[in-house]
Structure 1
Amino acid sequence: MAGRIRLEDRECPLSTTVGHVGEWWTLLILHDAFDGYTRFDQFQENLGISSSMLTTRLKSLVADGLLERCPYQDNPTRYEYVLTELGRSIRPVIVALAAWGNSRLAPEERSMILVDAKTGEEVDPVVVDAGTGRRLDDSEAFVYTAGPAASDAMRARYVEAGPM
């Protein structure tokens, strides 16, 4: 369609991020990768995803630099999918999404919880400012504004509407 703006063409970093990982299968594949899954059949069996959808998603994750496709067997050649540094960097986002989902459930309704690997104690993840340690869930204290690379349109958004 002419004139349609693709997510990856938008200036907002949120829209570009959603363009990379916003499809729900992508987040589930990454979650499985954090749990140690690396092989096509492991992802497919655990997720119950069709082979064509899984192939498409894995190709996209490799193209976006979140996973690396590495041979693990010759004759026939078989590949595994390993998290890259960029892929590992998205873990806090996935943890935060899961924590948000769990916060809406009673403790006895949670099928998966995050625990300290050493103590086994459940943890309650929060997003904080690295510089001050302050929680970022206060929408009055932390707002967006135009950054150094902002276009005139982005700058106008924050001048007209004020910080969001």
Structure 2
Amino acid sequence: MTTRTATQPNCSIARTLDLVTDRWSFLILREAHLGTTRFADFRDYLRIAPNILTNRLASLVESGLLEKRDYRAEGERTRSSYHLTPAGADLKLVLAALQQWGDVHVPREAGPTVLRRDRRSRELVDVGFVTEDGTAVPDEDVEFEPVAGGPADRGTWR
């Protein structure tokens, strides 16, 4: 995978990582998927310094992954809350895949901290590959195929 310019990488992964720049961004998005919206709650749950949180929230808003909404509790000043945009919500699968990988390859002694369940049946679910019609495909049967003439096409690298 290559990036041709700093402003517009050719690789989809590189373009995504330009938006989700570091571990704090991923952890903030995890908390947002768990329903956290308020600055103080992000700060307390993550034990993150306020200046770092401010910068990461601003970056995630600018990237279009979170949106900022004003709210005001009775008798208090106006504050901002942070909510997933559709693009941010679409990262749920990515976060679940990272979690699933971590549970298998770098597990906690006490076991997982979050379980992925089907909301209706309550069955545990795994992240995986599926065809367009919804058929599960084993990992070993999935291959990455470079698009001819694209940046991952090894025949075009010079």
TM over 0.5: yes
Q: Calculate percent identity across the aligned residue pairs.
A: 30
Seen in structure 2, the aligned counterparts of structure 1 residues 40 and 132 have a Cα distance that, compared at 3 Å, is closer
Seen in structure 2, the aligned counterparts of structure 1 residues 43 and 108 have a Cα distance that, compared at 3 Å, is closer
- Calculate the TM-score normalised by the size of structure 1: 0.78
CA distance in 2, matches of 1:23, 1:64: 13
Cα shift at 1:108: 5.1
Deviations 1:94-123 (A, max 9, x none): 111101111223895223221223343322
The equivalent of 1:19 in structure 2 is 18
- Calculate the TM-score normalised by the size of structure 2: 0.81
In structure 2, give the amino acid aligned to 1:128.
V
In structure 2, give the amino acid aligned to 1:109.
G
Instruction: Give structure 1 regions of 4+ aligned residues with deviation exceeding 4 angstroms.
Output: none
- Name the SS for the 1:82 alignment partner: strand
The equivalent of 2:102 in structure 1 is 101
- Name the SS for the 1:10 alignment partner: coil
Instruction: Spell out the pairing of 1:5-44 with structure 2 (5 A cutoff).
Output: 6=6, 8-44=7-43
Specify which of 122, 125, 129 is matched with residue 124 of structure 2.
Answer: 122
- Name the SS for the 1:79 alignment partner: strand
- Name the SS for the 1:109 alignment partner: coil
Q: What is the aligned-residue RMSD (CA, Å)?
A: 2.7
The equivalent of 1:90 in structure 2 is 91
What are structure 1's unaligned runs of at least 5 residues?
none
Aligned residues: 151
Seen in structure 2, the aligned counterparts of structure 1 residues 160 and 137 have a Cα distance that, compared at 3 Å, is farther
Higher relative contact order (CA 8 A, sep 6+): 2
